[in-house]
Structure 1
Amino acid sequence: MITINPGSGPVDGATAEHARTNARAFADELATALGRDPGDAQVTDHDTMQNGRGHFSIRLDEQSYEIEMPGLPLERVRYDGASDQNIWDFPRLYLDGSSWVWIYAIRVCLRDPDEEDAPT
């Protein structure tokens, strides 16, 4: 059996409240990674849940991202590569139409827009 992009399917048991909390946490982590204060990023909730993910826009200065954030508790969505985490257990979020686990979505946001290669 071959599995491509595990965690990219529907998210069972998701709520809009968790999706909102997660979108804000993602925006705060992104702002911090860019040397900004948490809260500097604007998060717009489009009040749409589909397949267990809420749709949000995140804007920080001139950069803007469309996010479809899983609506599970943050600790079940925020994969950061810790030794006690198994990447297979985490749903992917969608960033500008492509699916990523949390840590790689942050890295995509941090890369130079002119860079051609995706982060590893």
Structure 2
Amino acid sequence: MILLNPGSGPVPDATEEQAVANMAEFVSELGAHYDVTVVSHARAAASDYGDGRWAFELLTDDERRIEVQMPGAPIEQVREEWTRLYVNGSSWFWEYALRQCQRGDEQWG
């Protein structure tokens, strides 16, 4: 068996309520550890993938719009296991997803 992108498939037993809570934590970490100020974030239901992830649009203080597909699994599973978030269409583990939200010149610095 070959796994090309583990954790990017459907998220079983996911809920929108948990995705909303996870998104609040994600936004908080962006501000605290990555110097990204999210001016607003809102559900973007029309963009939902429908596989246990819910879409949110973030607007940053430097006017960037970022789409995050947040899994509705428990936060510990999303942070520490093989459950991926999607940021602007690409899948990432939690820590790397946070980095993707930085300004382009800061993502891997």
Q: Which runs of 5+ in 2 are unaligned?
A: none
Secondary structure at 2:95's aligned position in 1?
helix
Give the fraction of aligned pairs with identical amino acids, expressed as a percent: 42
Q: Output the CA distance in 2 between the equivalents of 1:97 and 1:65.
A: 10
Residue 101 of structure 2 is aligned to residue 113 of structure 1: no
Moved beyond 6 Å, runs of 4+: none
Secondary structure of 1:50's partner? coil
Q: Which structure's residues are more often helix, by fraction? A: 2
Instruction: Give the direction of change, closer, same or farther, for the CA distance of 1:36–1:65 in structure 2 (3 Å limit).
Output: closer
Structure with bigger gyration radius: 1
1:51-70 deviations in Å (ceiling 9; x for gaps):
00011011221222101100
Q: Deviations over 1:11-62 (max 9, x none)?
A: 000000001111111111111124467xx54110124461000110112212
| 8 A contact 2:53–2:70 mirrored in 1 | yes
User: What stretches of structure 1 of length at least 5 have no aligned partner?
Assistant: 80-88
Query: Which residue does the alignment assign to 1:83?
Result: none
In structure 2, how many angstroms separate the alpha carbons of the residues matched to 1:57 and 1:36?
14
